Structure 1
Amino acid sequence: MPIIDIRCHRVSAPLHTPFVTALRRTSTVDSLIVEVIDDECHHGWGEAPQVWRVTGESMASAEECVRHPLTDVIKNQDPDDLNRLLDQLARAVEANHGAKAAVDEALHDLAAQRAGRSLPRFLGGTTHRVHTDVTLSAGTPDELAEAASQRVKEGFDTLKVKVGTDAATDVERVKAVRQAAGKEAKLRLDANQGWTPREAVRTITKLEDQIIELVEQPVQAWDLEGLKWVSDRVDTPILADEAVYGVRDLVELIQRRAADLVNVKLAKCGGIAQARTMLALAEQCGVGTTIGSMMEGPIGVGAAASLAAAQGTTLACDLDAAWWLTKSPITGGMHYKGANIVLPDTPGLGVGNLTLSDPA
């Protein structure tokens, strides 16, 4: 029962609210959806998000990678020989982590369908619910306060505040969010590399009386020394995101003791297989974990949430990306219920069909 076809679909789906960070502003989720089909008409699904300012990949580059080097190693192969396929996938091409993640997710989805198990159960879990934070886009203090109040009313208890656009006024913005959200809400800050190390220490120190759960990627991704400098000088836990793509980056982070926590994302590391290794390594070395996503739709988020359901993390996950969509680009699959992602207890990811596709 070999893999007989690999198809690519470009999807652009609108957001109900612009997503604004220190790195970029977007009003759409733009992704390459990969469909892997076996000769019994099982369809496995995966997603490669287009995030120029983080991964540097586009839908066009991901498609080219999938259509040639990645297709070459999986077409006509046995999808039940999953470990061998994933190993070949990892070695087929350098970088191109989003493209690899999409194929990795599709292969996992296909294998789970063939086994008749949901993806969380296929990965060794039993639950189909995953708790997530929700992001507050960068904005004025009044805009952030209004958004925080609304999100709490909708059932979210962990708010991720985008800062880093202006260190001089970030303190005012965070205080406005804390006042609007109340004392019970957990606040996370994400600077998306927007501060210098000195700005980070000054800003975080001024905010430690606001009870901040963590600060994510305060400095430039390449500056591990700066990240460690910040971590050593503040009491608030520091979470590495853009600084850590895969296993090698995580090893260096651990060796330098540069951060307390790591955000593992499938589109950064290359898929579920690599992410599982990273989560296990972090646990063994005392580094806290969360599983996050880029601006992805329900396929990519569903795959990440399935891993979180199976393997667990030390923090609530960072998987609200598909919540921002005005309409799901698929039938079936995951959905949100308040601050929880609900995964279907049906084979694989439970995706029925792609509804907003532009077949490439």
Structure 2
Amino acid sequence: MSRIVEVTTERMSVPLHTPFVTALRRTETTDTVLVRVTDSDGVTGWGEAPQVWQVTGESLAGAEACVAGPLAAAVTGTDADDLAATCRAVAGAVAGNHGAKGAVDVALHDVAARRRGVSLPVLLGSTTLRVATDVTLAAGDADALAETARTRTAEGFGVLKLKVGTDAATDAARVAAVRDAVGPDVGIRLDANQGWTPREAVRVISALEDKGLGVELVEQPVAAADLDGLAWVTARVDTPVMADESVYGLRDLVAVIHRRAADLVNVKLAKCGGLSTGRTLLDLARAHEMGTAVGSMMETHVGLGAAASLAAACGTSVVADLDAAWWARESPYLGGLRYDGATVVLPDAPGLGIEGLA
């Protein structure tokens, strides 16, 4: 029987080709903790815990300490083939620390897939290695957004995720500029990243509806903790509302469902703690007729590969939100996923297909 014998961490900072700007932050790098889990047969799996202060509040130092301490203690010596039991041990080892738990959970799945000689999406039940994604338009003025939108559609992206929430008074004009730039056939969805009050959200979304701008959905219009406000907005607009920062784990999704606070949910591994919980969230949402998407934080090809594998295996009701690794100036890895226009192409190789650092 092979056992988990080593858990290591390494910090990485990956430059982006374009600054990533939202209502919450601006960054020019993806900062993350790379996690490696190795079994007694020498098989190594990869995971990562991204640092996004304004969303998860988890730091690189905190993730390192959590992985090296209680999470490593929980998995060291466990059966490398008993994936379900080991992932339960990870989930129960600490409170919070979803990014760190997600990194170890993904690395354990990567080990299991490599031991079986199958890709991670196949391990999860997928029959495809290709997943469509949207692309984010970073927050900016109307002219800059329109120009970027034209560039992205020329690159093959058919769904644009426009960052709003920085100024409710001018958000509708920015959306209109993007729609004028790309025409009626390109999908436009909005992400306010908690940037509006409930009244602002209803005012802006209603204005967009009145203008007939064809917005597919609006993601996290109000503060994450304001479920009453989220429900108030959802009840007063026709445009579907998606919960993101409001949902980390199962209790959060149950609360959203109970209050009918949103029409859809965006499942992210660094929020929910990994593939095990991510799959359960998708199943629960579907059981209650909620729409689903799989997304990511600003992560590298490791975390993004895991998220894309989940999307490939479980499917989503709207195009997935998997462009995070596309923003990297270049991949820091040998192997792993690649982008073919608006499609994430997962490798036909064991696990995540990561062979090492470039």
Superposition TM-score tier, normalisation by shorter sequence: over 0.9
Q: In structure 1, how many angstroms separate the alpha carbons of the residues matched to 2:213 and 2:111?
A: 46
Deviating above 6 A after TM superposition, structure 1's stretches of 4 or more consecutive aligned residues are none
Q: Which residue in 2 is equivalent to 1:137? A: 138
Normalising to structure 1: TM-score of the pair?
A: 0.98
User: Matches of 1:45 and 1:310 in 2, distance apart?
Assistant: 19
CA distances 1:268-319 after superposition (whole Å, capped 9, x unpaired): 0000000010000000000000000000000000000001101111110001
Distance 1:109 1:139 in 2: 38
Equivalent residue, structure 2, for 1:53 = 54
Of 267, 273, 286, 2:289 maps to: 286
Q: Does 1:213 align with 2:216?
A: yes
Cα distance in structure 2, aligned partners of 1:147 and 1:39: 49
Distance 1:134 1:181 in 2: 14
Q: Sequence identity, in percent?
A: 62
Match for 2:229: what amino acid? G
Does residue 1:156 correspond to 2:154, yes or no? no
Measure, in 2, the Cα distance between the counterparts of 1:232 and 1:83: 39
Distance (whole Å) between structure 1 residues aligned to residue 336 and residue 10 of structure 2: 17
CA distance in 2, matches of 1:117, 1:140: 46
Aligned twin of 2:35: 34
Please name the residue that 1:226 is paired with. Answer: 229
Q: Which whole-Å CA distance do the structure 1 matches of 2:196 and 2:35 have between them?
A: 36
Unaligned runs of 5+ in 2: none
2:270 matches 1:270: no
Structure 1 position 4, deviation (Å): 1.4
In structure 1, list runs of 5 or more residues that go unmatched. 356-360
Taking structure 2 as the reference length, what is the TM-score of the superposition?
A: 0.99
- 1:358 alignment counterpart: none
- How far apart, in 2, do the equivalents of 1:73 and 1:224 lie? 34
Q: Pick the aligned partner of 2:349 from 346, 352, 356.
A: 346
Q: Which amino acid aligns with 1:333?
A: G
Q: Distance in 2 between matches of 1:87 and 1:45?
A: 18
Residues 29-72 of structure 1: CA deviation (Å, up to 9, x unaligned):
00000001112221100010000000000111000000010000
Asked if 1:126 is matched to 2:131, the reply is no
CA deviation map 1:13-42 (0-9, x unaligned) = 100000000000000000000001112221
SS of residue matched to 2:66? helix
* SS of residue matched to 2:217: strand
Offset at 1:145?
0.3
- C-alpha distance after superposition, 1:212-239 (max 9, x if no partner): 0000000000100000100000000000
Shift of 1:77: 1.4
For 2:260 and 2:5, the matched residues in 1 are separated by: 46
Aligned residue in 1 for 2:336: 333
Shift of 1:182: 1.3
Deviation at 1:354, TM superposition (A): 2.0
Counterpart Cα distance in 2 of 1:9 and 1:191: 32
The 5 A counterparts of 1:310-321 are 310-321=313-324
CA RMSD of aligned residues (A): 0.6
> How much does 1:134 deviate?
0.2
Aligned residues: 355
